[in-house]
Amino acid sequence: MKNKKGGDKIISVYWFVILFLVAAGISYMVISFYGKPYDIRELEANVLTNRIADCVSTNGYLNEEILTHSFQNSLLNKCNLNFEVEDAYDWKTQEQFYVKLEVLEFNSKVKVVEVSEGNSNLKDFCEPASKNSPTCLNRSFYSIDKQNNQYQVNILSVVRKTEKNVK
């Protein structure tokens, strides 16, 4: 009878050791998950690309205004974009976005338009992609103008904002 009692006590001690280990494991996972910020840079780059694409082409037809110099000189203004960011982590002195728009004739691949805005240094960190490097998104699509000339539109969007999205 005495032995059985001792055995029960040993089981309960082991039980609490196991419970403690499970709790420590769960706590570690929760702290490491919720301690990291949400990374939304890929979503931001996607939205930025969509906005530029909407600005360049409507219903599959190229917005012919983009072939003019006034459009190319004020891409941000024409596409209703504002690359100003909050005053944190010294971001005011270092722009956090970069976009590059290229329009090529579809068959000859001759560049008709090449415009870029934002911090051009960011594109150098696209490859190799790592956790701390900016998020880069390359997208191409096909468009025609009213005279049925065919074009290929390439958009590169880069979002940095590393400090607020990665830990």
Partner 1 sequence: MKILKNKKGNILTENLIFIILNIVFLSILILFLFSKMGSAAVLEERYSKEIALLIDSAKPGMTISLNMEDAVKIAKKEKWPLDKIVFIEGNTVKVQLREKGAENSLGSYSFFNDVNVKANFDTTNNKGYYFVIGEK
Among 44, 55, 56, 57, binds partner 1 (CB under 8 A): 44
Task: Provide the mask over 54-83, with x wherever binding to partner 1 is found by CB under 8 A and - wherever it is not.
Answer: ----------------------xx--xxxx
CA nearest neighbour of 45 among 149, 120, 155: 155
Stretch that binds partner 1, among 25-33, 62-70, 101-109, 137-145 (CB under 8 A): 25-33
* CA 73/CA 116 separation, integer angstroms: 9
Taking CA atoms, 149 is separated from 54, 153, 163, in Å, by: 19, 13, 44
Residue with tokens 């596409």: 79
Residue whose CB is less far from partner 1, 82 or 93: 82
114 φ/ψ sector (left φ>0, alpha ψ -120 to 50, else beta): beta
Which residue type sits at 34? Y
CA dihedral 75, 131, 44, 84 (to 10 degrees): -50
**# residues contacting partner 1 (CB under 8 A):** 34
* 129: three-class secondary structure by DSSP: coil
Among 10, 12, 28, 114, binds partner 1 (CB under 8 A): 12
Stretch that binds partner 1, among 26-34, 61-69, 108-116, 119-127 (CB under 8 A): 26-34
Segment 89-148, which members bind partner 1 (CB under 8 A)?
A: 89, 97
Contact residues: partner 1, CB under 8 A? 1, 8, 12, 15-16, 19, 23, 26-27, 30-31, 34, 37-38, 40, 43-44, 47-48, 50-51, 76-77, 80-86, 88-89, 97, 164
